[in-house]
Amino acid sequence: MELSEKPIANPLIVLREEFDDWAILFDPDTGNAFGLNPVSVFIYKRLDGQHTLGDIMKELRTECKNVPEDADKHVQDFIDDLLKKGLAGYEFHQE
């Protein structure tokens, strides 16, 4: 993922939030489910095609305490994993 890219959550994927801030991503086409911790939920909700990795990291550092120095790498790896699994992608505009 390039730093200027703005990924978007796959609109066909269901995000089910639990009472304890954890969540499940469910792909109804495959039946696959993926558990998300609270930080992953925070990131996933910002995959709206409007936020870059830098934007997400800025919000994460503002909202969360004790964010590690290398968090950028972990967030990028998480987003890359979502992209590989088809849980997120990019919106393309043709002219």
| Residues comprising the chain, all counted | 95
Between 84 and 95, name the one with better pLDDT.
Answer: 84
In this prediction, residue 93 has a pLDDT band, given cuts at 50, 70 and 90, of: low
User: Which pLDDT tens digit goes with each residue over 12-68?
Assistant: 999 999 988 999 999 999 999 999 999 999 999 999 999 999 999 999 999 999 999
Domain ranges of the chain: 8-89
Does pLDDT of 2 surpass 70? Answer: no
The Cα 21–Cα 93 span in angstroms is: 34
Does pLDDT of 73 surpass 60? Answer: yes
pLDDT at 43: 97
**Which CATH number describes the domain made up of 8-89?**
3.90.930.60
